[in-house]
């Protein structure tokens, strides 16, 4: 493979895929952590609100503030349930891990190729080998993404787990 063709492949295809998987991993990680924190905080806060309502609750009146205090634990419980269900249904953790693995695998292949190490050390055409190995990694990532999307869709529709 000519030097310009491999440089074009690396810049136009491989580097774009690395950037895509890196950004996707960061987005999924942030979404996962955000929902996990909301779930944990809301789940922990619910019994505390219920207990404080029982201990400090004045006699029943029709004051708006008292109604808010009585409804607040229910609202927080719904938020906790929604965050927990979202973690399961949208599989942010699995998506984060899959994108991170693809990104790091592609980076590793680029490094091995650039130093002529690993499988590239004895290859008769290291450039063609890089293209083959990178395309396998990318196709595995596509297959994993399709699987996650199908599972997430089934979970939302109530047909999956």
Query: Splitting the chain (161 residues) into consecutive groups of 10 residues, what average pLDDT does each group show?
Result: 89 96 97 97 93 75 78 94 95 94 97 97 96 95 68 56 41
What are the residue ranges of helices labelled H in 10-125?
15-56, 64-90, 92-115
What is the C-alpha separation between 139 and 101, in angstroms, rounded? 13
- Widest CA span in the chain: 85
CA 38 vs CA 50, 58, 103: distances in Å: 18, 30, 28
Please tell me the predicted confidence (pLDDT) of residue 157: 54
3-state secondary structure of 20: helix
Please tell me the predicted confidence (pLDDT) of residue 62: 74
Q: Which residue has the tokens 């399961």?
A: 88
Calculate helix-pair angle for 64-90, 126-157, nearest 10 degrees.
140
Please tell me the predicted confidence (pLDDT) of residue 16: 96
Please tell me the predicted confidence (pLDDT) of residue 22: 97
3-state secondary structure of 126: helix
Please state the pTM of the whole predicted model: 0.80
Count of the separate structural domains present in the chain: 1
Please tell me the predicted confidence (pLDDT) of residue 128: 96
What's the residue count for the chain?
A: 161
Q: Which residues contact 66 (CB under 8 A, 6 or more apart)?
A: 57, 58, 60
What is the C-alpha separation between 37 and 111, in angstroms, rounded? 36
Please tell me the predicted confidence (pLDDT) of residue 61: 72
Structure tokens at 151: 């599972």
**116 is in which domain, residue-wise?**
3-157
């Amino acid at each position: 493979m000519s030097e310009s063709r491999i440089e074009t492949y690396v810049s136009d295809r491989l580097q774009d895929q690395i950037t895509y998987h890196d950004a996707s991993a960061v987005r999924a990680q942030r979404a996962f952590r955000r929902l996990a924190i909301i779930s944990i905080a809301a789940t922990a806060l619910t019994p505390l609100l219920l207990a404080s309502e029982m201990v400090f609750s004045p006699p029943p009146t029709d004051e708006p503030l008292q109604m808010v205090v009585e409804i607040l634990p229910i609202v927080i419980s719904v938020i906790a349930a929604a965050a927990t269900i979202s973690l399961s249904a949208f599989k942010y953790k699995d998506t984060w891990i899959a994108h991170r693995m693809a990104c790091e695998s592609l980076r590793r292949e680029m490094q091995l190729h650039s130093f002529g190490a690993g499988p590239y050390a004895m290859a008769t055409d290291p450039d063609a080998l890089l293209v083959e190995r990178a395309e396998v990694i990318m196709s595995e990532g596509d297959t994993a993404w399709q699987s996650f999307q199908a599972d997430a869709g089934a979970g939302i529709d109530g047909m999956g787990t």
